[in-house]
């Protein structure tokens, strides 16, 4: 089998790609000159030489705190190909979180992008001796200023890296408040990337457009290691992926592969697609009839494909549950979406299917050579905690043996903390997080994510969060105030009391709508306005622990 012909370590994979595809483009900013694999290899070696001179040895921790760019991947491979351990830090981490990660990981060196220098202001550490600006590899902090980056330099030592050597410690922002350092080996990550290639075959002609942070395991494995396997080129944005930045980039790159999270495509559907079907009374009525809805969605799908550059063959969605109405639209629009499921602890992919094989509301089956079971399933519903076993499962949490023992069984099963079911074809259906599940008054299992999915289908709702307060379900709702103000502009100008009255009417209507759609155990007692957007993780999941 192809992935066993080569050692599952980053030095082996990188050298093989340079040998096969050296002259081809590897990384590029949109509208800029790409870096070839040969040039990337030279930079990687020169950077390893610099780290070597700075005293970095195999097993030492080197952090990266940077926005996405070609040099991010080059720094990542320079660290890991010399047997050191990379510690990717999410750019949205606060100064306190960054300090905690640098301290906890014992990082000896740090690559940082210029826009994030404020995150380490005032940070003091006895371990951290070297800080390198990632844009040009110049030194910000160094004990010996005579040693600088030299693009012609080569490392003096030869490094032997084994498959089970630690490659990365990824600190999860998590939605539970406490970050954990997930230890992933070269094999964990490489094996996972090869399995991604089985789900969706790719080659050196594919173009990735990167919109998620490289420090998140989803983008890291499938947006950095996966393209490395085949010599494909990855394009990066210099600014956050807002519509004015993203739309011209899509037109320019014409990507074949994109990795996203549900919120990105949900925003497109609710803010751009759906309003066009609601503008005219006739269209609004036709959209409620399945036959016409499918025709309208198919037409919208053609426009959407064109917006994404016209060449897209794989639009991966992961990191959170996709809204039901949005998935129905994507299916009927014949948009090449694919759902995946995984966790940082599993490097990340556990289940998935390509766009031709998606199953509605499912993440698809387990990936090849990974075992998935529902542990202790409910006899009536078949629901239970998802457990996984295989080569992608982490070594454990760094310096946390007790926390590791809580999630890893002696015979190698990883307890995901997610609840789900498997159908007769072994397709996995996620119900929600075990920690988020609410137990009703009579012992019923209530999944807030399912109620939120219903709420988010309601007009003017951007996002929502359902929590239990004093035994009752309360929904916090963030509305699209711009749309609301547009609709009730005259009222707002005439009298603010009337405008506030309309908002209250809308919330009452929302409550009635939701309660007509959910079972009696999941009825909402109260709807409250969330005036500002919810705080989110790197994959745009709401940080629930802040609100419960």
Domain ranges of the chain: 2-236, 438-546
* β-strand pairing of 349-352 with 337-342: antiparallel
pLDDT at position 143 is 85
CA distances from 263 to 321, 355, 401 (A): 9, 19, 35
Q: What percent of the chain has pLDDT over 70?
A: 95
pLDDT in tens, 6-36: 899 999 999 999 999 999 999 999 999 999 9
Of 4-18, 93-107, 224-238, highest mean pLDDT:
224-238
Residues in the chain: 548
**Are the C-beta atoms of residues 203 and 232 closer than 8 Å to each other?**
yes
Average pLDDT of the chain to the nearest whole number = 92
**CATH 3.90.1150.10 assigned to 2-236:** no
3-state SS, residue 491: helix
> Cis bond leading into 348, ω under 30°?
yes
Does the pLDDT at position 488 exceed 70? no
The mean-pLDDT minimum among 343-357, 384-398, 491-505 falls in: 491-505
With residue 461 as reference, give the H or E element that holds it: strand 461-469
pLDDT at position 96 is 87
**Are the C-beta atoms of residues 180 and 403 closer than 8 Å to each other?**
yes
Q: Residue 90 and residue 173: Cα distance in Å, rounded?
A: 8
Residues pairing with 349 in the sheet: 342
Radius of gyration of the chain (CA): 24
**Are the C-beta atoms of residues 90 and 68 closer than 8 Å to each other?**
no
Q: In what order do the strands lie in the sheet with 109-112?
A: 138-141, 130-133, 109-112, 61-65, 85-89, 166-171, 181-185, 396-397
Residue 515 phi, psi (nearest 5):
-65, -20
* β-strand pairing of 207-209 with 257-260: parallel
| DSSP letter for each residue of 362-378 | --BSBPTT-EEEEES--
pLDDT at position 307 is 96
Q: Residue 235 and residue 209: Cα distance in Å, rounded?
A: 5
Q: Residue 179 — very low, low, confident or very high, per pLDDT cuts 50/70/90?
A: low
Handedness of CA 49, 55, 61, 63 (dihedral sign): negative
The mean-pLDDT minimum among 22-31, 95-104, 406-415 falls in: 95-104
470 CB contacts (<8 Å, ≥6 apart)?
none
The span from the first CA to the last CA of the chain, in angstroms, equals: 48
Q: Residue 528 and residue 289: Cα distance in Å, rounded?
A: 32
Q: Is 2 exposed, middle or buried (0-12, 13-18, 19+ CB in 10 A)?
A: exposed
pLDDT at position 263 is 86
**Are the C-beta atoms of residues 111 and 77 closer than 8 Å to each other?**
no
Interval 249-256 mean pLDDT: 98
Greater confidence (462 vs 114) lies with: 114
**Are the C-beta atoms of residues 68 and 16 closer than 8 Å to each other?**
no
For residue 515, the tally of other CB atoms under 10 A from its CB is 17
**Are the C-beta atoms of residues 169 and 106 closer than 8 Å to each other?**
no
3-state SS, residue 323: coil
The mean-pLDDT minimum among 165-174, 381-390, 482-491 falls in: 482-491
pLDDT at position 178 is 58
Q: Is 22 exposed, middle or buried (0-12, 13-18, 19+ CB in 10 A)?
A: middle
Q: Residue 505 and residue 243: Cα distance in Å, rounded?
A: 32
Residues pairing with 166 in the sheet: 185
Instruction: Compute CA 75 distance to the chain's CA centroid, rounded to the nearest angstrom.
Output: 21
| DSSP letter for each residue of 380-409 | TT--EEEEEESTTS-SEETT-HHHHHHHB-
192 CB contacts (<8 Å, ≥6 apart)?
221, 225, 346, 347, 348, 349, 367, 392
pLDDT at position 470 is 85
HSE toward the beta carbon, residue 9, CA cutoff 13 A: 20
pLDDT at position 359 is 96
For residue 456, the tally of other CB atoms under 10 A from its CB is 21
Residue of 100, 26, 110, 111 lying closest to 70 (CA atoms): 26
Q: Which fold has domain 438-546?
A: GMP Synthetase; Chain A, domain 3 (3.30.300)
pLDDT in tens, 305-341: 999 999 999 999 998 889 999 999 999 999 999 999 9
Interval 276-294 mean pLDDT: 92
Greater confidence (499 vs 239) lies with: 239
pLDDT at position 175 is 40
pLDDT at position 176 is 45
Q: Residue 358 and residue 367: Cα distance in Å, rounded?
A: 13
Residue of 539, 524, 538 lying closest to 461 (CA atoms): 524
pTM of the model: 0.89
Q: What percent of the chain has pLDDT over 90?
A: 74
Q: Residue 271 — very low, low, confident or very high, per pLDDT cuts 50/70/90?
A: confident
pLDDT at position 172 is 81
Residue of 532, 534, 452, 458 lying closest to 270 (CA atoms): 458
pLDDT at position 162 is 98
Q: Residue 499 — very low, low, confident or very high, per pLDDT cuts 50/70/90?
A: low
Does the pLDDT at position 419 exceed 60? yes
DSSP 534: P
3-state SS, residue 87: strand
Greater confidence (539 vs 209) lies with: 209
Q: Residue 259 and residue 240: Cα distance in Å, rounded?
A: 15
**Are the C-beta atoms of residues 195 and 368 closer than 8 Å to each other?**
yes
């Amino acid at each position: 089998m192809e992935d066993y012909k080569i050692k599952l370590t980053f030095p082996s994979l990188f050298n093989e790609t340079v040998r096969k595809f050296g002259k081809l483009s590897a990384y590029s900013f949109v509208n800029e000159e790409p870096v070839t694999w040969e040039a990337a290899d030279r930079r990687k070696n020169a950077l390893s030489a610099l780290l070597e001179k700075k005293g970095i040895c195999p097993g030492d921790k080197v952090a990266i705190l940077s926005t996405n760019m070609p040099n991010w991947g080059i720094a990542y491979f320079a660290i890991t190909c010399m047997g050191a351990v990379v510690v990717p830090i999410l750019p949205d981490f606060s100064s306190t979180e960054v300090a905690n990660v640098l301290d906890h990981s014992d990082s000896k060196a740090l690559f940082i992008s210029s826009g994030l220098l404020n995150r380490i202001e005032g940070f003091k550490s006895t371990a951290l001796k070297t800080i390198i600006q990632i844009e040009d590899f110049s030194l910000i902090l160094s004990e010996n200023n005579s040693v600088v980056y030299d693009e012609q330099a080569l490392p003096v030592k030869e490094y032997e890296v084994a498959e089970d050597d630690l490659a990365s410690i990824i600190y999860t922002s998590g939605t539970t408040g406490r970050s954990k350092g997930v230890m992933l080996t070269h094999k964990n990550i490489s094996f996972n990337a090869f399995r991604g290639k089985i789900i969706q075959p790719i080659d050196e002609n594919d173009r990735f457009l990167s919109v998620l942070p490289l420090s998140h395991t989803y983008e890291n494995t499938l947006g950095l290691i996966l393209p490395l396997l085949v010599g494909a080129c990855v394009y990066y944005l210099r600014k956050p992926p807002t519509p004015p930045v993203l739309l011209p980039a899509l037109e320019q790159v014409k990507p074949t592969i994109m990795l996203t999270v549900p919120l990105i495509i949900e925003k497109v559907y609710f803010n751009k697609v759906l309003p066009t079907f609601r503008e005219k009374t006739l269209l609004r009525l036709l959209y409620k009839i399945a036959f016409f809805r499918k025709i309208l969605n198919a037409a919208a799908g053609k426009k959407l494909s064109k917006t994404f550059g016209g060449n897209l063959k794989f639009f991966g969605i992961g990191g959170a549950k996709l809204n039901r109405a949005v998935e129905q639209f994507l299916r009927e629009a014949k948009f090449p979406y694919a759902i995946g499921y995984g966790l940082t602890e599993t490097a990340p992919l556990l289940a998935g299917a390509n766009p031709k094989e998606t199953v509605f509301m499912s993440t698809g089956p387990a990936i090849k050579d990974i075992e998935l079971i529902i542990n202790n399933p409910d006899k009536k519903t078949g629901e239970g905690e998802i457990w996984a076993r295989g080569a992608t499962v982490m070594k454990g949490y760094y310096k946390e043996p007790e926390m590791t023992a809580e999630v890893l069984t002696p015979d190698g099963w990883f307890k995901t903390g997610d609840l789900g079911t498997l159908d007769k074809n072994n397709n996995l259906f996620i119900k929600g997080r075990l920690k988020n599940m609410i137990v009703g008054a009579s012992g019923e299992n209530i999944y807030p994510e399912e109620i939120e999915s219903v709420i988010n289908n309601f007009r003017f709702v951007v996002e929502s969060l359902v929590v239990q307060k004093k035994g009752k379900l309360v929904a916090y709702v963030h509305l699209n105030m711009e749309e609301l103000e547009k609709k009730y502009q005259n009222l707002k100008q005439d009298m603010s009391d009337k405008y506030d009255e309309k908002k209250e009417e809308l919330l009452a209507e929302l409550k009635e709508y939701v309660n007509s759609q959910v079972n009696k155990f999941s009825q909402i007692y109260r709807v409250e306005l969330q005036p500002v957007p919810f705080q989110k993780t790197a994959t745009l999941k709401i940080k629930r622990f802040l609100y419960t």
